[in-house]
Structure 1
Amino acid sequence: MSDTIAGRFTLLDPIASGGSGTVWIARDERFGNLCAAKVLRQRDSADLLRFVRENTVRLNHPHVLAPYAWAAEDAHVVIAMPLVTGGDLAGLLRAGRRFSAAATAEAMRQILSGLTAVHVAGWIHRDIKPANTMIDAEQPDVHLLVADFGIAVDTNAPRLTHSGIVHGTPGFVAPEIMMGGDISPAQDVWAAGQIGKRMLGLDDEAAAEAVRTSADPLASGLVHLLDDLTAADARQRPTPETAAAALSRLGLRGPFHFADGTPWHPQRVISSKALPQDPAPTLALVPQADPTRVDDRRAASGPPAPGSPPGGAAHGGADAHPHTAIGHPRASTQQRSSGRGLAASAAVFAFIGALLILVGIFLPDYLG
């Protein structure tokens, strides 16, 4: 494929590969910053449906990793999101790491804070798990983000069909979903509680006994909260907002530690010459934005690249930046110059919309 997709995303280094495509470190030529570019390998209906779902989620929150732009050219479709270099919680858990009560409480506060924004926006994630909890190694302390909205459901949109297919990852699917119940935000809460239990070691019999009998009031209170989050009856679970607020009142401050007492300093797990040597924050809220509310804008990680075309990519390139990095509206001349890109974007979305109709007819169960 071309090194640059749609004249906007220059692919620099592949960092992950899956069944539907490859994630690259890329340079966003419009804003001049590095990003993660997910490139679809083939245009089949299932991959495009996940793409449409994920790209539709536009949230500006410090603990949510959502797409901020997309582009299409010939056989390639790409979505871009801020680059996060610290891997995910799954990698640490696979390595046998367990976390202190304070570190687990802070991680849960951040995850639940992100889920609050997701639910307020009308989305149910449906695949909350350690592998979808990303770690930002460019921040001075522990900073987690909820990621991967490929099977998320918009509760404000009409459901095309109701199916008996269970979506999610074994071990993180709420019991009511396993029994064929209706989806709800409570299933994300249950999955988040399961993450906390694994971080604290409650999934291991020996470790669980030590944690549950600990005299540490923080550990005791956290265990009770995690039990509430994973209550069998969905109606008994607290909302993520309530649980996050309870954890916020603890006033936790780093540095945070693993259960064995060693410091938890997030480190880069990506090795690439494309990355700058000095860590720099990868996320930035729009100036004066309230981080506790949902916002459909995301600031770029850096200033616009000198000489970059104001209208964006020639083949797509719609994004969530009604403002530049400094927060001022773009000039009307720039808006007019983006018309050609918007027309191409509309054509691509028309194609995707038609494809979704066909998917609804021939693959109705997938849309559940």
Structure 2
Amino acid sequence: MNGQQPDRGGNAPQIFQPLAGDDPTTIAGYRLAAKLGAGGMGKVYLSYTPGGRPVAIKVIRPEFGEDPEFRRRFAQEVQSAQRVQGLFTAPVIDADTAGAQPWLATAYVPGPSLSDAVVAHGALPVEAVLLLVAGMAEALHVIHGAGIVHRDLKPSNVLLAADGPRVIDFGIAFAADATSLTGSGVTIGTPAFMAPEQAAGHRVTPATDIFALGQVAAYAATGSPAFGEGTSHGVLYRIVHEEPDLTGVPDRLTELVTRCLAKDPSARPSVAEVIGLCQSANAETVLRRPEDWLPAPVAADITVRAAAPAPVQTPPPPSSAPSVAYSPTTPVAPATPPPGYAPTVSAAPATPPSGFGPPTPQGYEPPRPRHPAAPAPMPAPGHPHAYAPTQFPTHPHPQPYPVPPNGAGPRRGPVLAVAAAVVLAIVVAGTAYSVFDNQGRSQGQPDAGGRTTDSKQDTGSSRAAEPKADPKPADYKGINLTAGYHLTLGEEVRPQQGEDGGYELSYDTGGYLDAETSGGNLVLLDPGQEGSLAACRADTRFTQNVYVNKLSKGRQVCVTTGTGHLGLVTVQGFSPEDSPSKYLTLDVTVWRNAAPTP
């Protein structure tokens, strides 16, 4: 999920481009060394961690950052992407999804994209294509395992490293679908590598990525897209209605590519089957990735990209902390004070005056002043937080209050002690009176006003202790919720158009149920788990969305709205394949104002 491919300027792209006037010099403490490229989502820069590890930082375009729905989905995808830790993916190591301009950082991969390699050096040999596809399949296995559908798998999102391919940019297309910019001149996704259901606006599943994998394999083996080139509309029409042109695909790859490019998603192979097909095409031998798995000209490009510009030695302090715990600029020692700086608090004396600070333990001896030339004392063995004067300008004693010149300071200790004793006596006396008074009332004894009150007759307190009665459920049967529509539980539960906004449950065209309101969430109950008001109140496996491909007839989803309502959604059916619209048939039970209070 990063994007490290450079812009192509003919057949010899400039890999490390100098920063231009409109490029930032730092991103949250990362000093930028060069620009790697730019695309529809933003620009990609080269930087380094404090330990010298190169990283690629993608800065999202300001137009996308201004869209609140994009930010929400982008934050979800970054959180999911940080769980993806595969051998053939570039891990996300840092990000900021809430700043003025969102960004994310991944490990830098010193290798060309598949698209750049094919344009510059032609199609890959069969053995390299098999290793390429097998590595991509492993990458999809961990991506899909994190609940992510790539949606934009294409040659420019596959980097060729010395030890195998790296799949990048997973999840960004999903976030981009949330913004209206995708319909106003900004294109996310490449038509030539879309699946038929994606081109037709239908449900996107992991099988969508398998279709794209077949297209990438055909491109790597022939140097041309399987459905040709031309206008977006023409390519998309051929993807949906025509068969691919596989005349240049080697025989050993024909079965693999043909099965991946099946129009019906259910007919495509799984990730494990793709790896099995690669194994079969490799003469039933174990796939082994040698150091020289790529042609020599492509390997030479890797060498060039490995010679990245040297990092700047002294990175500046960040203007704001990154959104995750890791920070490349956390100092190990305090910075040098600016000229003219002077501390406003005087240093503590060797022996604090009487009455200030904690009591001195018997036998305690304050530290003696150390000569400036003497070495610093070593910390005690086994003490993980020993005092280090070069790290924190603290003092072994609490800083005392300044002593007034008239000597009145030392007498404040006894005065404070007397005042504290008086306050304590008042509190104890009041507490004792309250206890005895309550005991007297509970036994029917008269109070100070001569009234006798029995605790059983204290109707005000008993009413406060009574639990609030559960609201009655409202049932709505057989609701057909169409993709792109939503439900609002606080009023008439009827599908209304719109999938993004202050609603309470929507069926997103991306193929998932979404909790829209601020503070709202969903819980997917286990198969066989009986949904009820008590179950929905008790279960805390919260999520913001539930993909429809994880649902089956009878599965139930608890809905908690930000407006205080609870709902139980029971799936009763799905729209048939020949239906002109995509919808879910649901039974919905609503308990209004029943959500547990935080």
The interval holding the TM-score normalised by the smaller chain is 0.5 to 0.7
Q: Does 1:128 align with 2:153?
A: yes
Q: Post-superposition shift, 1:22?
A: 2.2
Asked which structure has the greater CA Rg, the reply is: 2
Contact preservation (8 Å) 1:71, 1:313: no
2:253 aligned with 1:222: yes
Q: Compute the displacement of 1:242 (Å).
A: 2.1
2:66 corresponds to 1:44: yes
- Residue 15 (1) aligns with residue 49 (2): no
* Structure 2: gaps spanning 5 or more residues: 1-22, 227-244, 328-382, 386-497, 511-598
The alignment partner of 1:75 has SS state of coil
1:246 offset after TM fit, Å?
Answer: 4.1
The corresponding residue for 1:69 is: 94
Normalising by structure 2, we get a TM-score of: 0.40
Aligned residue in 2 for 1:299: none
Consecutive unaligned residues of structure 1, counting only runs of 5 or more, are: 213-219, 277-304, 322-330, 334-357
Question: Which residue does 1:252 correspond to in 2?
Answer: 287
Q: Let me know the Cα RMSD of the aligned residues.
A: 4.3
1:233 matches 2:264: yes
Q: Is the 8 A contact 1:177 1:187 kept in 2?
A: yes
Q: 2:78 aligns with which of 52, 55, 63?
A: 55
Q: Superposition pairs for residues 29-40 of structure 1, below 5 Å?
A: 29=50, 31-40=51-60
| 2:299 equivalent in structure 1 | 265
- 1:80 aligned onto 2:105: yes
3-state DSSP class of the match of 1:94? helix
Map 1:1-368 → 2, pairs under 5 A? 3-7=25-29, 9-29=30-50, 31-42=51-62, 43-45=65-67, 48=71, 51-56=74-79, 57-58=81-82, 59-71=84-96, 75-95=100-120, 97-136=122-161, 139=162, 141=163, 143-151=164-172, 168-201=189-222, 203=224, 209=247, 211-212=249-250, 220-248=251-279, 250-253=285-288, 254=290, 255-256=292-293, 264-265=298-299, 267-268=301-302, 270=305, 272-274=308-310, 314-318=320-324, 360-361=500-501, 368=510
1:65 deviates by 2.0
Q: Partners in 2 of 1:114 and 1:308 — Cα distance? A: 36
> Residue 340 of structure 1 aligns with which residue?
none
The letter of the residue matching 1:256 is W
Identity, % of aligned pairs? 25
* Equivalent AA in structure 2 for residue 149 of structure 1: F
TM-superposed deviation, 1:50 = 6.6
Structure with the largest fraction of helix: 1
The CA deviation at 1:210 is 5.8
CA–CA separation in structure 1 for the residues paired with 2:209 and 2:38: 26
Report the CA distance shift for 1:275/1:225 in structure 2 as closer, same or farther (over 3 A).
farther
Give the whole-Å Cα distance in 1 for the aligned partners of 2:509 and 2:325.
25
Secondary structure of the 1:183 match is: coil
Cα shift readout 1:300-359 (whole Å, capped 9, x = no counterpart): xxxxx99999xx9952340589xxxxxxxxx997xxxxxxxxxxxxxxxxxxxxxxxx99
SS of 2:46 mapped into structure 1 = strand
* 8 Å Cα contact 2:43-2:59 kept in structure 1: yes
Could you tell me how far apart the structure 2 residues matched to 1:318 and 1:332 are? 25
Distance 1:266 1:108, change over 3 A: farther
Structure 1 residues 10 and 232, CA gap change in structure 2 (3 angstroms)? same
**Larger relative contact order (CA 8 Å, sep ≥ 6):** 1
SS in 1 for 2:197: helix
Paired with 2:325 and 2:275, the residues of 1 have a C-alpha distance of 30
Mapped to 1, the partners of 2:165 and 2:213 lie a distance apart of 13
- Give the Cα–Cα distance (whole angstroms) in 2 for the partners of residues 130 and 176 of structure 1: 20
Letter in 1 for 2:309: K
TM-fit CA distance, 1:61: 0.5
Alignment coverage as a number of residue pairs: 280
State the Cα distance separating 1:237 from its structure 2 match. Answer: 0.8
Query: How far off its partner does 1:238 sit?
Result: 0.7
Which string of whole-angstrom CA distances, capped at 9 and with x for unpartnered residues, describes residues 254-305 of structure 1?
33355xxx665252364742279xxxxxxxxxxxxxxxxxxxxxxxxxxxx9
In structure 2, do the counterparts of structure 1 residues 125 and 2 end up closer, same or farther at CA, with 3 Å as the change threshold? closer
- 1:68 is paired with a residue whose SS is strand
2:193 aligns to what SS in structure 1? coil
